[in-house]
Chain A
Amino acid sequence: MKKYLLILFDTNENYEAMTPDDYQKEIELHGKWIQELGEHYDSGEALEEPSKTIRGKELLVTDGPFIEAKELVGGFYVIRANSFEEATDLAKGCPTLRLGGAVEVRPIMHIEM
């Protein structure tokens, strides 16, 4: 199986009105999803704010990523799948989508030698 990167875009305002119980339920949904992924799950990391972008040989530093201001990359998963289609289908199960977030799927380049 090939590896795919799933990048999670969160819309942070969705978290503001959540109760402690809501947070727990949201975590449980992710836990369940990862369990269902089974051997497809490889690893994952959460990302913290803030974020800076450095550009070009002038090393111009600016705040934030260059996407829609409300969305922030909250973390990424590495999953294994047999095809890009399968990886995309698996990504559709990511619970963060229920809250209006987005998931970007990218194949991780791997060259057989």
Chain B
Amino acid sequence: MTISKQITDHLFRQQSGKMNSILINQFGFEQSSTVEDIIQETFLAALKHWRMKGIPENPEAWLMQVAKNKLINELQRRKRHGKLNKNIVQPADLNLLTENDELIKREQIKAFFACCSPSISSKAQIMLTLKIISGFGDREIAKGLLMSEQSVRKSIYRTRKILKELGKAAFNIGKGEYIERLDIVLKVLYLMFNEGYYTSSGDKILDEDISFEAIRITTWLLEINYLEHGKIHALLSLMFYNFARFESRTDSSNQIIDIEHQDRSKWDAKFVQQGIYHQRKSRESTEISKYHIESGIAAVHCLSKSYSETDWNQIVLYYQRLLTFDNSFIIEINYAIALSEAGEISASLKLLKGLKRNRMKDSSLLFGALARVYQRKGNLEIAKSYYKVAMDMTLSENERHFFASKLNKLFLNTDGSLN
């Protein structure tokens, strides 16, 4: 034991993900509360022990061994009380807990695909993945997904109930299921990344952790050699290009900075390189996915030296292609902005005015976009009033602040430049 030894960042979270994955594969969702208790007790034991005596030489192995011992005790206790169904549990399989990382990763991938069951919603898949595979706590999931802790707990409870009913079938995951579920799995990872990237919880580190977790799990998929790697590389490329800009997207008081005003010298070159690498690999794909196109858009932004040098015509073409995959509101909005930046202002306004709003959130985005396009056009009075409406409509404090600062700048600077 060394008193001053440091623990790797998020070791507990990662160990929780490993333990949960292995144990859920072994025991199924019907035992999830026992599994959770064991993990909680293991961490409590570590806290009580390590705080007195310092961190052990191999903290990971310590945690795994303690969890294993606790579980064996629990199983023996149940056996004594006749509660154990022998068909479900073979304690020998608990050796997986102390196996090497490669084997454990395989278990995590399997558990991840189980969490992405087609029987549950995307949101439920994301929550379950964050909890079981990534070791986030309910409180962190609630904060990251802008939900209340109670609704996270309720939702996870309901999800588990559904998966419990599937019984063993929930873990019947072989080659067929891996291939079949790839699109669901990529969508979950894409949405999970965006939860961290676009949804500001007010906790920058937590947001970054959620996005990075999505990247980490996506890279695992490349280890399954019969999956379509092109799409996986495309998603990774998109994630890395965006992740490179993580730092520059908000200021010190956590307010949004749009891409035009981001300090490009803060973009992380090492992640941009990863973006380029995976984009190159994504071209080996047999089919083009929406991730390919989105990564193309992100690449244009990441590789432009300045905002004014951005190749908007290229971006417009990408959006037109993207709309054939996904004509969602948010993509239409972005397409309209790209059109106006490419000089097609009347086309942009026509598009925006024809958009149907389905959610509360849509309104503030639409009015914000209209304000921006009118500002581009030079109609500053109209732009101001649209910013005001956007401010009234938004549900997010951060967004309100963003529109307010745009409006403020318009009052200070009436020459119509977008500064």
Residues in chain A within 8 A of chain B (CB atoms):
10, 15-24, 26-28, 30-31, 34-35, 41, 44-47, 74-77, 95-96
**Closest partner residue, chain A, to B135 (CB atom):** A20
Contact A75 B12 (CB under 8 A): no
Report whether A34 and B54 are in contact in the complex, using a CB–CB cutoff of 8 Å.
Answer: yes
Q: Mark B293-304, 1 if CB is under 8 A from A, else 0.
A: 000000000000
Tell me how far the C-beta of B139 lies from the nearest C-beta in chain A, rounded to whole angstroms.
Answer: 6
| CB neighbours of A22 from chain B (8 A) | 137
The interface residues of chain A lying within 8 Å CB-to-CB of B181 are none
* Per-position binary interface string of chain B over residues 2-34, scored 1 when its CB falls under 8 Å from any chain A CB and 0 otherwise: 011111001111011000000000000000000
Flag the segment in B44-52, B337-345, B363-371, B409-417 that touches A: B44-52
B44 partner residues in chain A, CB cutoff 8 A: 15, 23
Closest to A10 in B: B48
Additional 9 contacts, C-beta under 8 A, given A23-B43, A31-B7, A45-B53: A15-B47, A19-B13, A20-B136, A24-B7, A24-B13, A44-B53, A46-B49, A75-B51, A76-B52
The residue of chain A having its C-beta at the shortest distance from the C-beta of B51 within the complex is A30
Is B55 among interface residues, defined by CB-CB distance under 8 A?
yes
In the complex, what residue of chain A is closest to B4 when comparing beta carbons?
Answer: A35
Contacts of B332 in A (CB 8 A): none
**Across the interface, do A19 and B136 meet the contact criterion of CB distance under 8 Å?**
yes
Which residues of the other chain, A, contact B208 by a CB distance below 8 angstroms?
A: none
In the bound complex, what is the Cα–Cα distance between A10 and B140 (angstroms)? 24
Kindly supply a per-residue 1/0 record for chain B positions 28-42, scoring 1 wherever the CB is within 8 Å of any chain A CB and 0 otherwise: 000000000001100
Measured CA separation A95–B53 after assembly (Å): 15
A20 B137 Cβ-Cβ under 8 A: yes
Q: Which 7 A-B pairs have the closest CB atoms?
A: A19-B137, A44-B52, A30-B51, A20-B12, A24-B12, A20-B16, A23-B43
